[in-house]
């Protein structure tokens, strides 16, 4: 310890279920935050996973209604996620990728990672002295502007999702610090989501369909985005989406209830034999969390009003003539994507031909 740190506080400045954070000083005088994995946490996680797998298997075996929810698959995905979080070297890589994405953005600050002092169980970062997101109130509005912070936060989240396809999946108030000049600093890069370019395009199509109240377009996007686990009743799904539109979308963007919409939409998938990619759950979680964050800063905040420009840009970029020219040799999969506006039945026939059916 003395070979690395000039001082190390035994009292943690932050604590969570997997780790706790201590303030320390390197030999060169730099202040750092040292995230230390809790002793015995791996053993506890293994026990928890064993119990979860047992319960999930029993539920799918004895409760027919639960099979469409793929409970075992959800536990498997949780296992993969938690194992990544337990390896702090992964978190260091996530932080560095996130930092590279935002290196030219003066509104977002990403702490420096000290790789020489980072292992699977210890993560050493630049110590950031800021105001907690949850502590922004009327007492410090002279120093900070809540509406600017909410605006920059929404812009950042949507850049992560639509431009970079790599997003912070746990942006709760404890993982956000506010620095001078309303600069936002994200903390804790253990839970991140990844979206391929194709997934981002499909999400954009669904969102534009939602904004335009186009149930058919939403359903087309959903069917291409999700894996079918049995027969899909397209008419039933389209009716459910139409009912969702009638319930939520005849208001202004600022008034849309994003958490409720996402919650209802996610319930459609298992009901229609559709499996949701795990990162879409993380995406929904991130948007719901940040909607809550924004409302604390600005009562009129709604992340929905920020979505349309990003989604529209993704679709326009997809159809840019130079992009098409640079990708003249399309795979069958990409060719099917380009004819996404054909009726679903036609696309279904083409996909069956592609698969030799």
79 and 198 fall within a common domain: no
Q: What angle, 0 to 180 degrees and rounded to 10, lies between the N-to-C axes of helices 278-297 and 258-271?
A: 160
Which residue range(s) make up the domain with 207?
Answer: 130-318
Half-sphere exposure of 95 (CA within 13 A, CB side): 24
Please identify every residue annotated as catalytic.
170
Q: Which two tokens stand for residue 330?
A: 């399309």
pLDDT band at 28 (very low <50, low <70, confident <90, very high): very high
Residue 78 and residue 145 in one domain: no
303, part of any domain: yes
Structure tokens at 225: 């985005």
Same domain, 50 and 143: no
pLDDT on residue 155: 95
Mean pLDDT of 221-239: 89
3-state secondary structure of 331: coil
Do 148 and 277 have their domain in common?
A: yes
Cβ(37)–Cβ(46) below 8 Å: no
Q: How confident is the model at residue 70 (pLDDT cuts 50, 70, 90)?
A: confident
Query: Residue 206 has what pLDDT?
Result: 86
Is position 14 within any domain? no
Answer yes or no: is pLDDT of 338 > 60.
Answer: no
Which range of 130-144, 188-202, 263-277 scores highest in mean pLDDT? It is: 188-202
Q: Please measure the distance between the N-terminal and C-terminal CA atoms of the chain and give it in whole angstroms.
A: 64
pLDDT of residue 318: 62
Angle (CA) 158 32 83, round 5°: 60
Look at the pTM and tell me if it is higher than 0.85: no
Q: What confidence score (pLDDT) does residue 180 get?
A: 94
Model confidence over 146-202: pLDDT tens digits? 999 999 999 999 999 999 999 999 999 989 999 999 999 999 999 999 999 889 988
In this structure, is residue 59 part of a structural domain? Answer: yes
Q: Based on the domain organization, do 56 and 156 belong to the same domain?
A: no
Q: Does residue 292 sit in the same domain as residue 149? A: yes
Tell whether 308 and 203 lie within a shared domain: yes
Q: Are residues 210 and 300 in the same domain?
A: yes
Q: Which residue has the higher pLDDT, 92 or 311?
A: 92
Which residue carries 């034999």 as its tokens?
273
Question: Which domain-ending residue is among 20, 55, 84?
Answer: 84
Number of domains making up the chain: 2
Kindly state whether residues 183 and 275 are assigned to the same domain: yes
Say if residue 176 is in the same domain as residue 73.
no
Do 139 and 66 reside in the same domain of the chain? no
Task: State the Cα–Cα distance between residues 90 and 8, nearest whole angstrom.
Answer: 24
In sequence order, what are the residues at sequence separation of 6 or more whose Cβ sits closer than 8 angstroms to the Cβ of residue 115? 92
- CA separation for the pair 41, 150 (Å, rounded): 35
Out of 87-96, 142-151, 244-253, 265-274, the most confident range is: 87-96
- Does residue 26 sit within a domain? no
Contact 330, 220 (CB under 8 A): no
Mean pLDDT of 61-85: 84
Q: Which segment of 60-74, 147-161, 335-349 scores lowest on mean pLDDT? A: 335-349
Instruction: Tell me the pLDDT band of 323, cut-offs 50, 70 and 90.
Output: low
Do 60 and 139 have their domain in common? no
């Amino acid at each position: 310890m003395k070979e690395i740190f000039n001082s190390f506080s035994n009292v943690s400045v932050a604590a969570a279920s997997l780790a706790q954070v201590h303030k320390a000083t390197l030999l060169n005088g730099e202040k750092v935050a040292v995230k230390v994995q809790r002793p015995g946490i791996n053993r506890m996680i293994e026990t928890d996973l064993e119990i979860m797998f047992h319960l999930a298997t029993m539920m799918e075996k004895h409760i027919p209604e639960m099979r469409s929810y793929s409970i075992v698959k959800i536990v498997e995905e949780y296992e993969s996620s938690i194992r990544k979080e337990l390896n702090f070297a992964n978190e260091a890589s996530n932080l560095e990728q996130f930092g590279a994405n935002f290196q030219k953005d003066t509104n977002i600050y990403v702490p420096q990672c000290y790789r020489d002092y980072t292992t699977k169980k210890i993560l050493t970062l630049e110590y950031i002295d800021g105001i907690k997101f949850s502590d922004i109130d009327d007492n410090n509005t002279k120093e900070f502007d809540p509406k600017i912070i909410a605006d920059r936060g929404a812009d950042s989240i949507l850049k992560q999702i639509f431009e970079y396809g790599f997003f912070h999946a746990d942006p709760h108030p404890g993982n956000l610090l506010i620095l001078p000049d309303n600069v936002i600093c994200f903390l804790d890069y253990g839970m991140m989501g990844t979206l391929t370019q194709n997934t981002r395009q499909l999400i954009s199509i669904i969102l534009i369909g939602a904004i335009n109240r186009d149930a058919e377009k939403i359903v087309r996007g959903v069917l291409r985005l999700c894996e079918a686990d049995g027969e899909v009743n397209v008419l039933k799904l389209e009716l459910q989406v139409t009912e969702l539109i009638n319930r939520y979308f005849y208001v202004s963007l600022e008034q849309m209830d994003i958490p409720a919409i996402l919650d209802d939409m996610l319930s459609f998938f298992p009901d229609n034999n559709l499996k949701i990619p795990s990162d879409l759950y993380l995406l929904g979680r991130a948007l719901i969390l940040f909607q809550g964050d924004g409302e604390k800063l600005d009562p009129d905040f709604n992340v929905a009003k920020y979505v349309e420009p990003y989604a529209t840009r993704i679709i326009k970029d997809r159809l840019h003539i130079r992009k098409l020219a640079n990708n003249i040799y399309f795979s069958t999969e990409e060719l099917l994507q380009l004819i996404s506006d054909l009726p679903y039945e036609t696309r279904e026939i083409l996909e069956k031909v592609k698969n030799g059916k």
